[in-house]
Every structure is written in C-alpha cells, then in structure tokens.
Amino acid sequence: MIIRFVRNMVSKVIIVQDGAVLLLERSDMSVSNTSPWTWDLPGGHLDAGETFEQAAIREVFEETKLILAEASYVGRGKKNEKITYFYTADEWSGNIRLSEEHKSYRWVKPEDLALYKEQIGSFYYEMILNVF
C-alpha cells in the first residue's frame, strides 16, 4: 500500500499582510459534516515523508499559488486526534489564484476576526490571535 498523505497531521499557515491575516473561503465541495467550517487558513495534510514545514509551503502554493519566502513555526495543537502545526509568513511572491478547494479570500484585521470565529473554528481562531 502506498501512503499518499497522513490524515491526522496537518500544517496551516497564518499569512500576514499589513496587519491582516489571509482567510480562504472553502468551496461547497470542501465543506462537510466532519469539516463544517466555511473559512480556513491555507494549508493541509502532510504527504508521506514530508516535514510539517514542507507541507505548509507546498499547500500554500497549491491552494493560492503564493510562493513563501519562509514559514516560521508558531505552535501546534491537537484536536480530535489531528495534530496541527501552525506557521506564519509575511513574505512571498506571486498573486493569489485559488484552487478549486476555495472560492474566495479575504484579508481580515485582528479586530474583525471575531466575525469569523464560528466559520473558522475556535482552535484556529485562538492560534491566529496568538500571532497578533
């Protein structure tokens, strides 16, 4: 059996520009009963043999076409048996072009983030606030 990705390990990136964080609106096909959040951070599952940082950089590119200069580790957490490593980035090249996983994006200031708390989930919400 070939393991394509590791289901219980995820990397997410808090991308910051001008004091705002990049949130991605998930496409209808990406929202489910087990993953009901409509807004998300860029990132995703690790491929077999990949580090959390490598997965973070690859997933950001796949989902947004942004090429990160670097991703800095800011913390990790575990929820529902899934381990999530969080990174932050404020330097990249390219322009945002979303994959089919997302239908829109927004740059959200910390003071407006509470409006998205239910749509991104408290786990991600708290980590974003910790970065700011």
Alpha helices by DSSP H, 8-121 = 52-64, 117-120
| Mean pLDDT computed over 49-53 | 87
Q: Is 97 a domain residue?
A: no
Top-confidence residue, 71 or 78: 71
Residue-level pLDDT at 101: 87
Q: Is 113 a domain residue?
A: yes
| Mean pLDDT computed over 38-44 | 89
If you compute the radius of gyration of the chain from its CA atoms, what whole number of angstroms results? 14
- Is the per-residue pLDDT at 73 higher than 90? yes
Residue 41: domain span: 5-92+102-131
CATH for 18: 3.90.79.10
What's the total number of domains in the chain?
Answer: 1
Residue-level pLDDT at 34: 57
The CA–CA distances, whole Å, from 8 to 5, 44, 48, 80, 127 equal 9, 10, 12, 9, 18
H or E element, residue 52: helix 52-64
Task: Please give the DSSP secondary-structure letter assigned to residue 125.
Answer: H
Question: In this predicted model, what pLDDT tens digit does every residue of 8-30 receive, in sequence order?
Answer: 778 899 999 999 999 999 886 66
Residue with tokens 């708390």: 117
Q: Quick one: pLDDT band at residue 1, thresholds 50, 70, 90?
A: very low
Q: How buried is residue 124: exposed, middle or buried, by Cβ count under 10 Å (0-12/13-18/19+)?
A: buried
Q: Please answer whether residues 12 and 85 qualify as being in contact, where contact means their C-beta atoms are separated by less than 8 angstroms.
A: yes
| Mean pLDDT computed over 104-130 | 90
